[in-house]
């Protein structure tokens, strides 16, 4: 859209200047015109300002640099200098708390990033860090503005550098509402959470045309980098939704669980759900037989306030659950094995998913509750060759380095190295509890007895009867529910129905926990 001056000569007085200002602001707010807006709606997408209205509290948005325009010349740009330059930046509130935002306007240059566009984003990112408030980006852009050449690429570099500098300082949330291709995809990947909308949002480094030219593979944009691909297969996206309205409402809810920055605690929502509420349903939800599966989500929902849970990466690495919820009105991170999927074992993807979640919680002062029911690490050539040792070490490192309050509860199985990695007392958990159904051991009774009493079994007249006998002996001597408690490896064996009350009391005691990590530039975690 070509924008011409409002008046051909200088206004005669202050009133005239104010009138001109309001005209310019209205042009900036209205965008490039009806045809561009209709094209946006035809794609099933809202406009940038409509998205901001859904995300932020009504009337709270304050725009920054609405009259900014690019200064590029050549390739037709000198005749097309729209206000905002294709990105709307500013701040507002979500549930009354300050949040900084930028939103690509796909109607202007396809949301492509140029020098002025990038500079606006840099400024709002700097303001977010200085003010100590979350940053939300609403992404709907076609990548770098080709007409501006290398200056557009440099603009992305400035965004990436600021993403890295803000990491662990303020929450950063990327909301994918349209295309995000090439180097532009690295900014969302550097942030804490990525939301995507099905059918309209895609992320990839090289598009279907390039893939076809280089590899000969035929694939659609959604098949290559759609919401479900990244939520289920790649793990790039933490959340996927069917429409923008639901997606943005869930962003608002996530923000209500997070602190404004790393120097604050998460907000206290108050105690509606009684802290001493007994959870009798847990006795039926979790079978005592360790071979039987169950849904750990139901356990978490029974324990936390009002059963409300935000599950992160719900569709990726489903054998471990990473959830944000409240206990006693305060945000907690709940990490749990999921016996309903792969028996709750840890594998490479689950370890990586859990490690990132632990790091995020630790960065933003969110206490960690770990619910353990793990038979071990997933065996197999693919896992070993795929680096299960390295990936498992990521989770181990994340827990060992975490300084927030940490409480673990062993529900049933806790075998071998996986038991240690799932925030055992030996790696620094502040408090560890167990249910009377717990089995904490190097391995299951059948496997352990088979190793220890191999010769005795082989020499017996009835090997199967002998095997059953020594398994029973091993279980009675080394795997009874109180073995770990007798040796101080768990702080108490608790009634499952009292789990919620025990956790809330323990977290209240740990609220003033202070850690003094050793002086160093930074650690060198396995990546």
Cβ-based burial of 265 (10 A; exposed 0-12, middle 13-18, buried ≥19): middle
Question: 418 an active-site residue?
Answer: yes
Q: What DSSP string describes 13-29? A: SHHHHHHHHHHHHHHHH
- Asked if 393 contacts 526 with a C-beta cutoff of 8 angstroms, the reply is yes
Question: 523 an active-site residue?
Answer: no
Question: 76 an active-site residue?
Answer: no
**How far is the C-alpha of 477 from the C-alpha of 470, rounded, in Å?**
10
Task: Report the chain's C-alpha Rg in angstroms.
Answer: 27
Angle in degrees, CA 119, 124, 129, rounded to 5: 125
**How far is the C-alpha of 97 from the C-alpha of 298, rounded, in Å?**
31
Angle in degrees, CA 302, 435, 475, rounded to 5: 140
Question: 16 an active-site residue?
Answer: no
- Asked if 380 contacts 347 with a C-beta cutoff of 8 angstroms, the reply is no
SS3 of residue 289 by DSSP:
coil
Joined tokens for residue 79: 């005749």
**How far is the C-alpha of 138 from the C-alpha of 99, rounded, in Å?**
13
Count helices and strands in the chain by DSSP H and E runs: 21, 17
Catalytic residue among 132, 183, 387, 447: 183
Catalytic residue among 417, 428, 447, 450: 417
**How far is the C-alpha of 433 from the C-alpha of 503, rounded, in Å?**
9
Roughly how many angstroms between the first and final C-alpha of the chain, as a whole number?
Answer: 46
Catalytic residue among 103, 325, 402, 418: 418
b/e per residue 149-183 (b: at least 16 CB within 10 A): eebbbebbeebeebbeebbbebbbbbbbbbbbbbb
Which of 28, 185, 181 is closest to 107 using CA atoms?
28
Instruction: Report, as residue numbers or ranges, the catalytic residues.
Output: 182-183, 417-418
């Amino acid at each position: 859209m070509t924008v011409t001056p409002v008046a051909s000569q200088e206004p005669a007085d202050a009133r005239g200047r104010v009138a001109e200002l309001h005209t310019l602001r209205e042009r900036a707010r209205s965008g490039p015109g009806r045809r561009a807006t209709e094209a946006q709606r035809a794609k099933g997408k809202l406009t940038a300002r409509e998205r901001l209205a859904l995300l932020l509290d009504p009337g709270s948005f304050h725009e920054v640099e609405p009259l900014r325009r690019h200064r590029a010349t050549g390739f037709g740009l000198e005749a097309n200098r729209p206000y905002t330059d294709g990105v709307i930046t500013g701040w507002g509130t979500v549930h009354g708390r300050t949040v900084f935002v930028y939103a690509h306007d796909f109607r202007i240059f396809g949301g492509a990033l140029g020098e002025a566009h990038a500079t606006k984003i840099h400024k709002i990112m700097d303001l977010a860090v200085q003010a100590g408030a979350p940053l939300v980006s609403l992404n709907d852009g076609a990548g770098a503005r080709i007409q501006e050449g290398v200056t557009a690429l440099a603009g992305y570099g400035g965004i990436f550098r600021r993403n890295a500098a803000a990491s662990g300082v303020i929450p950063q949330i990327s909301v994918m509402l349209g295309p995000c291709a090439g180097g532009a995809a690295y900014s969302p990947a550097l942030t804490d959470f990525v939301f995507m909308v099905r059918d309209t949002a895609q992320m990839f480094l090289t598009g279907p045309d390039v893939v076809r030219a280089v590899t000969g593979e035929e694939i659609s944009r959604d098949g290559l980098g759609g919401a479900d691909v990244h939520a289920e297969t790649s793990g790039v996206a933490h959340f996927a939704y069917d429409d923008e309205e639901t997606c943005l409402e869930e962003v608002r809810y996530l923000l209500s669980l997070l602190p404004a920055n790393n120097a604050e605690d998460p907000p206290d929502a108050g105690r509606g759900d009684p802290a001493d509420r007994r959870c009798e349903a847990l006795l039926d939800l979790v079978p005592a037989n360790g071979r039987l599966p169950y849904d750990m989500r139901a356990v978490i929902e029974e324990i936390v306030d009002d059963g409300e849970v935000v599950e992160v990466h719900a569709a990726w690495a489903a054998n471990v659950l990473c959830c944000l919820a409240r206990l006693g009105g305060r945000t907690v991170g709940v990490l749990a094995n999921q016996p309903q999927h792969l028996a709750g074992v840890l594998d490479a993807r689950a370890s990586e998913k859990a490690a990132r979640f632990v790091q995020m919680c630790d960065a933003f002062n969110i206490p960690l509750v770990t619910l353990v029911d793990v038979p071990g690490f997933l065996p197999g050539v693919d896992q070993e060759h795929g680096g299960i040792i390295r990936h498992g070490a990521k989770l181990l490192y994340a827990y060992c380095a975490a300084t927030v309050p940490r409480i673990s509860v062993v529900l049933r199985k806790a075998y071998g190295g996986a038991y240690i990695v799932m925030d055992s007392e030996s790696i620094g958990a502040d408090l560890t509890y167990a249910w009377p159904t717990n089995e904490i051991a190097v391995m299951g009774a059948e496997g352990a007895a088979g190793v220890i009493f191999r010769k005795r079994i082989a020499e017996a007249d009835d090997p199967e009867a002998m095997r059953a006998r020594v398994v029973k002996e091993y279980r009675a001597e080394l795997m009874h529910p109180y073995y770990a408690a007798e040796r101080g490896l768990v702080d108490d064996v608790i009634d499952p129905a009292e789990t919620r009350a025990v956790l809330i009391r323990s977290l209240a005691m740990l609220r003033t926990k202070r850690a003094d990590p050793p002086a160093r530039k930074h650690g060198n975690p396995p990546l």
